[in-house]
């Protein structure tokens, strides 16, 4: 199976599994073998899906401030988990192509394969939710039309992004491009690097 087809099929499954319950506290039951790329892709999208709904909840203007702070901190943890997982997926690609000798004129891409896969995961969520909005029976016709038009654009974007990812992987495999992965080095979660946190020591 083409890699992006595998990604999209797993992302769709994770989204559907989550929406059987539609609860941010639903435990994840990853159906794939641990430490496989399939396992990591499912986990990636599950984290994205839960965070998508946390972002919805925190925008409730009537939300209790204490609850909002609790959710904000949960979103911060989720962002760190997402970043760590993207870097783990990039490690998979580095292992896949470790024996490829890049050509002397090989170039680097603006983003690593896993960060492109991250965008594909978010796009799967946008498509799912935009389709739901386009199918709502209680929405005015004008809004349904707008959502339907946006859905068409998102579906085209999905095709284009999948094509770009496949081209990138093919270029890496052929030595036309090379991977260089930078750790994100987020500072705000590190008690040694966040001045608000280390000032309290």
CA separation for the pair 57, 78 (Å, rounded): 15
What would the pLDDT profile of 45-85 be if each residue is shown by its tens digit?
999 999 999 999 999 999 999 999 999 999 999 999 999 99
Number of structural domains in the chain: 1
Strand partners, 164: none
Which of 36, 6, 11 lies closest to 118 in space, CA to CA? 11
pLDDT above 70 (res 198): no
pLDDT above 90 (res 201): no
pLDDT above 90 (res 187): no
* pLDDT attached to residue 197: 62
* pLDDT attached to residue 5: 98
| Confidence band of 182 (pLDDT split at 50, 70, 90) | confident
Strand partners, 108: 178
pLDDT above 70 (res 189): no
pLDDT above 90 (res 26): yes
**Cα angle value 75/158/9 (rounded, 5°):** 75
Residue that is written with structure tokens 């004008």 in the block: 142
CA separation for the pair 15, 125 (Å, rounded): 7
What would the pLDDT profile of 123-174 be if each residue is shown by its tens digit?
999 999 999 999 998 999 999 999 999 999 999 999 999 999 999 999 999 9
CA separation for the pair 186, 136 (Å, rounded): 39
Own/partner contacts of 75-82, CB < 8 Å, gap of 24 or more, are 75/51, 76/188, 76/189, 78/47, 78/50, 78/51, 78/54, 79/51, 79/186, 80/186, 80/189, 81/47, 82/44, 82/47, 82/48, 82/51, 82/118
pLDDT above 70 (res 110): yes
Domain hosting residue 193, numbered range:
3-198
Rounded mean pLDDT of the chain?
93
pTM comes to: 0.91
| Confidence band of 178 (pLDDT split at 50, 70, 90) | very high
Q: Kind of pairing, strands 177-178 and 107-108?
A: parallel
User: Would you state the structure tokens that stand for residue 65, as one six-digit string?
Assistant: 């401030």
């Amino acid at each position: 199976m083409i890699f992006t087809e595998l990604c999209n099929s797993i992302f769709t499954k994770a989204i559907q599994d989550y929406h059987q319950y539609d609860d941010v506290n639903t435990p994840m039951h990853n159906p794939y073998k641990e430490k496989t790329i399939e396992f990591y892709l499912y986990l990636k999208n599950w984290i994205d899906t839960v965070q998508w709904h946390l972002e919805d909840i925190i925008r409730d203007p009537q939300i209790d401030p204490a609850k909002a702070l609790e959710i904000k901190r949960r979103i911060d943890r989720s962002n760190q988990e997402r970043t760590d997982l993207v870097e783990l997926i990039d490690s998979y690609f580095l292992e896949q192509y470790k024996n490829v000798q890049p050509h002397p004129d090989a170039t680097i891409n603006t983003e690593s394969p896993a960060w492109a896969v991250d965008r594909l995961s978010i796009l799967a969520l946008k498509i799912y939710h935009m389709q739901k909005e386009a199918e709502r029976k209680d929405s005015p016709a004008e809004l349904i039309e707008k959502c339907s038009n946006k859905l068409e654009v998102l579906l085209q974007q999905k095709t284009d992004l999948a094509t770009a990812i496949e081209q990138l992987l093919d270029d890496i495999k052929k030595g036309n491009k090379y991977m260089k992965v930078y750790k994100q080095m987020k500072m705000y979660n590190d008690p040694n690097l966040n001045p608000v946190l280390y000032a309290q020591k």
